[in-house]
Structure 1
Amino acid sequence: MNEYQDGPDRRHRRPEGVSDKTVEALGALSKAWETTERARGQLYGFHQLTGGADLELDRAVRLLREAGHPEWADKVETEILGRNVIPGHWTFQVVEAYDDTYYRPFRQLERSAVTELAQGRDHLYEAELKETRRTPGHPGHTARPPAAGD
């Protein structure tokens, strides 16, 4: 097997004319995008945890009433149950605003940059880094999965 066949598949090889700096810049853009994906996941965690806490307040209100503390049940019910997390917003609205204002525009820009600057080939930086770190011929250091096409 020659080195070309053992290297990355076509979709992870640098197109002709793409500079080192372009690959590095696209790698940085990709890393920033991946971090944004993680942030969005955290935002959904916030959304679900806050919603779960709000639903648990129903139980707290019921139990406070059963325990003979109707004034505290009323306070929880009127002051916290269903309260906005920021002015005018429940968590689903925060998620929607994030998606509309930041997440989708970022994704579109990242995709456009990869398409225009690298013929749509993702993870060129990582693929090239992998090649520098592989031990040729070692079964745990293969360039690509079995049956990966060119």
Structure 2
Amino acid sequence: MRSVDEAHSRPEGTSDATVEAVGKLSEAFEVIEEARGSLYAFHRNLGRADLTLGEAVNKLREAGHDEIADEIEADLLGRNVLAGRWTFQVVEEFDDGYYTAFREHDRRVRDALMGGRRHVFEAEMKQERRTYDRPGHEATPDDV
């Protein structure tokens, strides 16, 4: 079933197998986007943990535990999370390498096989699953 929305309609002559394959590639890229979000959350959480650790070190000193504070500060505060890397470096390497390559392949395949149209598979699924002429099941925002 074809989408009623031209921006999400399959190009003329495109097979079901091609729509499904490109849809699966887009689904995989969506998982990469989700993983990227988790990586950024990891980056932010580790940064927040290091700043909080700095506060803990200060409080240990204020409480008279200078030796313990010195040990933690020297060993853990500002420590690399991976060999030679803070999390910002991990994020940058991921973004510049794997993520960029995946995104470019997704776009290239979509441009070559779908005329640049996104979510054709999902748009067709929507047409198959929605109840026509029922509120909340409109094909596009213009139909509301």
TM-score normalised by length of structure 1 = 0.91
Q: Which amino acid aligns with 1:100?
A: D
Residue number in structure 1 paired with 2:86: 90
Which of 62, 66, 87 aligns to 1:70? It is 66
Bigger Cα displacement from structure 2, 129-138 vs 84-93: 129-138
Which of 100, 120, 124 aligns to 2:120? It is 124
Which of 48, 52, 56 aligns to 2:48? It is 52
Which of 30, 33, 36 aligns to 1:37? It is 33
Residue number in structure 2 paired with 1:10: 6
Q: Which amino acid aligns with 1:127?
A: A
1:5-61 superposed Cα distances (whole Å, 9 cap, x missing partner): xx5210111111111111001111111111111111100000000001101122111
Say if 2:98 is the partner of 1:105. no
Q: What are structure 1's unaligned runs of at least 5 residues? A: none
TM-score normalised by length of structure 2 = 0.95
- Please identify runs of 4+ aligned residues in structure 1 that moved more than 2 A: none
Identity percentage of aligned residues: 55
Q: What are structure 2's unaligned runs of at least 5 residues? A: none
Say if 2:142 is the partner of 1:146. yes
Q: Aligned partners of 2:15, 2:111: CA distance in 1, in Å?
A: 15
Q: Aligned partners of 1:136, 1:120: CA distance in 2, in Å?
A: 28
Q: Aligned partners of 1:134, 1:56: CA distance in 2, in Å?
A: 50
- The 3-state SS of whatever aligns with 1:146 is helix
Q: Aligned partners of 2:124, 2:89: CA distance in 1, in Å?
A: 41
